[in-house]
Structure 1
């Protein structure tokens, strides 16, 4: 009813690009119940160049006599087939207002929260992101006159048709007519799809719009083009190549020497590699381009909400954490004495690690043939072909995990080594994420992976849980991965910042070799965990914690942990919070009229939002029962 509501003006100052709008979403139906689809769009009504430029506002009727939580975000709104698309969301942790208090006219500052800035990138809703990765000197030019010349490269998305996926009727000449390579960057900002570039170095890791004539390519560069669009099946890509004349003077434009075309039909899976020809303006082949691609779709059949966003939340007190490797430790090693007492990646192993004081437990997730997430490390299992006391290598049959159902896997034992991921990455991650998002409740969860593209996808598909990039770095123990983002801690830092993820999980061998890299990670604002067999030593664990590392992953946590009280830091914090709430409950019990008084809301950090909400519900019931019985 109208009497139960009052008009409230939401007003915020924020800079936006030409396509972007500002929205508000919150904890009541009038603010969309945290759904981005039902968020309310603000209006920028102030004339340009005035002192109020960049101020967005809207008046909404919200509930009276209750707390309302809300957050602003920036997005791009579309109305295809009645759907709303909100992309490039940037939001702050939930802010609450008492709807009985008169609001100041002064606009809010976007991202200002708890005396600091907290702006983060959102997640995919209905749009798709396609990335093209260039590394290992992927550009080959066959003409001798281009030898030793620096090539500038630019990628431009081309919308082939509004809704059709077939491109057979569109000739190369037709596509070339749509080229934007001679347009100003300012003109391109008002276009959709949006194409951005990042280079994995300390100066260019942040995604940004391209220069008019692209970016110079160096043989040791790792360049990522990222394109955000709505109908990926209707978008092709033109790659233009430029070379400056040896006689060029300042402000002379470069010469356009050729183009490549990437059609959507070439990208048949979520990831892959392809080679396309480079052709001159006369359509003669002058070279070739090799690239890796990644296609990221939103989670199929699932909507994330904006009630919580932990993607880059980490409390200052969370450092020196003990993390149980695969639970209580690795089970499959040559030396039996080094194996854990309980089989790795089992519920029993995880529970025993928790009882031994683990703050977190690390475990591995694979998919069975019937698309059930299972706790298992390797991509293969080995089963015995004969019943023998001693089995030789030729007595074992190796089977991929993906070819076995959950029931079959429950009867098997050991795995051996890793291979290229057997499932389409979007299917794999959507399956795992749905289980976690549906079932995890208020647990503290962090995702991590050696595959940087999986980390990118985990971050783009959801905003609730943080992501760590597992990196091998410089090591003599393992062969290097192909992707340069995995090959050093500095490169991993650049990638983590570029992808907007919480931190990296470094190989301890690399840290022990050069401990100054810990400061490098911390100075970049990232959280640092470490892994590896070197951690299986109490003295090494102590040294790593002394360096300030946030979490150490190791085996046999029941034997190597130095904790006097075998308890997780999160349980201790939860108990302390509960004690505060119980104390507050005692204070509101006198006088008796507190039955009709609101229960005080204690300040808390955003990471604890769900836990505090549940604790407050319990407090409310406890207080009410106590008063009724008195």
Structure 2
């Protein structure tokens, strides 16, 4: 067979910040086989740009806008090539044996990648196409998604609820702007005796490879941006976060400069700034995922004038999984499907609702039965056992019945899930806290529990993937405890959050196959980790927005619709999964969330009503989570099964029509000439 080689000059118009480059990756060896570490690095066509080619973004840092990047690549063979462009920072590894470090800033994530057909080059004398692509725009569609953590870690410095305390009462009501600068503390590790004699406080160099972004959870300021020269105003009773990525978190520190600004300023860029002091954050203990800290603010006369209280969050890459760039669903949703039906814990809550589900919740049987009755997705809760195996169960604790010293004196004993091994969870006879009546306890204590596996509680996440029909989508709710507004912890001493999320993600990516998956969590930081550690599946932020039926969380990001919406926008999550009563009492909340470009799911006992379900459908709520799906949609079929049937019918028609010589010739010209595109969409 003759191998034909041809040259392609890939050209794209892209905006980059200082230190960033544009790369291309695709489905062949010459383009790196979708691996960002093996991608082809493009070159800016105008190396020596004049001042007109430079502009200053919101932070005042230089960036290229409209600069063309290009590279000639030799391709071989008669086939269709698929590829994408992405923007990244490349840092050469200190170890000669390891690959370069690639920190993806953003990448093209249209469901269908760019395409190039080899035969287009064979029929033309020109080997270089003249068209210059626009980054993120292809085939009439535009879709760009922020990168994920490949080799680097990400640090968040979170400020909320008036974190600045000035000791002089006269200055406590002032408005302050904060500028955060990354510092490279490797310099201090390498100091010798001669350097120490000349050492000054300002000699720690800035970290040139680290860009600090800021996000303020207010309308129009939520998406992270580069800071202004004088920082960003810290909102009173609000939430702001500084974010930085680094290959070496053990050396990354921060310098915070504080400016007093006009009292009329409320947020955004500082006006008439006056420097009043600074604070220093030394490199954080990267073995700790999150914590709360207080540091002094030092005035211009080198004396403490106040203090800053902040939380930090370490987001670490998922080790052992190299995510490729072939496809991403993190910010994709197929709106033509209408509202999807989501089975709550499978067939529904079987313990605490007014009308209980007929099958035990969060079991194999409950999940499969929901799918058979038309559930497009099933929602279930995942947490870790003591031996760190992801299991399916809703509550953070289990109850068992035990007999006290008196023969007939029975009582419930509550035990945390994370303190019991999988074998213990699956072997013990459980009681739900709702079973408080003595007669019920006696009946439970003296009856056998010999149900088959599919009806037993605590199936593992792995087993769920193996035993539930692959057409049924999974809404995986990650349970991770947090503080309520009283400062009380839902469940203390749980495995630290990075390890916790990693254990769940490893099972998902080992057994997911082609299944549609959506992650969700009430824990805002867990949502950040779920989003940043992988580049494939979308994430929803679960919230009840301080509804009086529930104890509110301490986390400000979960307290209101506006704050939750801005948090989702800031972290590039797919959308919000909100308590239904919040929407039903104020339907304008649906428009607010939709106007922000977010996908909207809702949950709650209010959804267990056909009139409510129909109302939510009419308002184009994307996913409706409810119990006992067979009571409301007995004739409905899973949408993904229907779509598969439709595609198979189209394929059969094409195969029937492809018997003519003309059709056979067309099939020979391209590998995908008669194929029906596989529906690989996650949602």
- What TM-score do the two structures reach when normalised by structure 2? 0.81
> Does the CA contact (< 8 Å) of 1:379 and 1:400 recur in 2?
yes
> Does the CA contact (< 8 Å) of 2:317 and 2:533 recur in 1?
yes
Please state whether the residue corresponding to 1:101 is helix, strand or coil: helix
CA separation of 1:292 and 1:430: change in aligned 2, threshold 3 A? same
Task: Provide the C-alpha distance between the structure 1 equivalents of 2:497 and 2:281, rounded to a whole number of angstroms.
Answer: 21
CA separation of 1:40 and 1:147: change in aligned 2, threshold 3 A? same
Structure 1 window deviating more from structure 2 (42-51 vs 153-162): it is 42-51
Picking from 518, 536, 539, the partner of 1:446 is 518
Picking from 67, 71, 77, the partner of 1:58 is 71
Matches within 5 A, 1:572-583: 572-583=642-653
User: What's the RMSD between the two structures over aligned residues?
Assistant: 3.2
Please state whether the residue corresponding to 1:370 is helix, strand or coil: coil
Q: Tell me the alpha carbon deviations over residues 411-434 of structure 1, each in whole angstroms, 9 at most, x when there is no partner.
A: 243576943571211111111112
Task: Provide the C-alpha distance between the structure 1 equivalents of 2:43 and 2:352, rounded to a whole number of angstroms.
Answer: 62
Structure 2: unaligned runs, 5 residues or longer: 54-64, 122-127, 264-269, 434-480, 482-489
Task: Provide the C-alpha distance between the structure 1 equivalents of 2:682 and 2:334, rounded to a whole number of angstroms.
Answer: 15
2:296 corresponds in structure 1 to 277
Task: Provide the C-alpha distance between the structure 1 equivalents of 2:203 and 2:431, rounded to a whole number of angstroms.
Answer: 58
> Does the CA contact (< 8 Å) of 2:81 and 2:117 recur in 1?
yes
1:263 corresponds in structure 2 to 282
Please state whether the residue corresponding to 2:44 is helix, strand or coil: coil
2:91 corresponds in structure 1 to 78
Task: Provide the C-alpha distance between the structure 2 equivalents of 1:146 and 1:268, rounded to a whole number of angstroms.
Answer: 37
1:148 corresponds in structure 2 to 173
Picking from 152, 175, 183, the partner of 1:158 is 183
Q: 1 or 2, which has the higher strand percentage?
A: 2
2:637 corresponds in structure 1 to 567
> Does the CA contact (< 8 Å) of 1:74 and 1:91 recur in 2?
no
> Does the CA contact (< 8 Å) of 1:310 and 1:607 recur in 2?
no
CA separation of 1:369 and 1:586: change in aligned 2, threshold 3 A? same
2:341 corresponds in structure 1 to 322
1:616 corresponds in structure 2 to none
CA separation of 1:300 and 1:600: change in aligned 2, threshold 3 A? closer
Is 1:545 aligned to residue 571 of structure 2?
no
> Does the CA contact (< 8 Å) of 2:497 and 2:526 recur in 1?
yes
2:244 corresponds in structure 1 to 227
Structure 1 window deviating more from structure 2 (12-21 vs 48-57): it is 48-57
Moved over 6 A (4+): 169-173, 602-607
Picking from 198, 204, 214, the partner of 1:178 is 204
Picking from 421, 434, 444, the partner of 1:405 is 421
Structure 1 window deviating more from structure 2 (344-353 vs 407-416): it is 407-416
How many residue pairs match? The answer is 593
1:106 corresponds in structure 2 to 131
Please state whether the residue corresponding to 1:586 is helix, strand or coil: helix
Is 1:586 aligned to residue 656 of structure 2?
yes
Task: Provide the C-alpha distance between the structure 1 equivalents of 2:417 and 2:525, rounded to a whole number of angstroms.
Answer: 21
Task: Provide the C-alpha distance between the structure 1 equivalents of 2:641 and 2:285, rounded to a whole number of angstroms.
Answer: 50
Give the drift of 1:265. 3.9
Give the drift of 1:174. 4.4
Q: Tell me the alpha carbon deviations over residues 416-470 of structure 1, each in whole angstroms, 9 at most, x when there is no partner.
A: 6943571211111111112111211111110011111111111111111011111
1:131 corresponds in structure 2 to 156
Picking from 301, 312, 319, the partner of 1:293 is 312
Structure 1: unaligned runs, 5 residues or longer: 181-187, 612-630
Give the drift of 1:288. 1.4
Structure 1 window deviating more from structure 2 (265-274 vs 126-135): it is 265-274
CA separation of 1:482 and 1:340: change in aligned 2, threshold 3 A? same
- What TM-score do the two structures reach when normalised by structure 1? 0.87
CA separation of 1:98 and 1:256: change in aligned 2, threshold 3 A? same
> Does the CA contact (< 8 Å) of 2:346 and 2:361 recur in 1?
yes
> Does the CA contact (< 8 Å) of 1:511 and 1:517 recur in 2?
yes
Give the drift of 1:379. 1.8
Task: Provide the C-alpha distance between the structure 2 equivalents of 1:194 and 1:202, rounded to a whole number of angstroms.
Answer: 23
Is 1:395 aligned to residue 411 of structure 2?
yes
CA separation of 1:421 and 1:131: change in aligned 2, threshold 3 A? farther
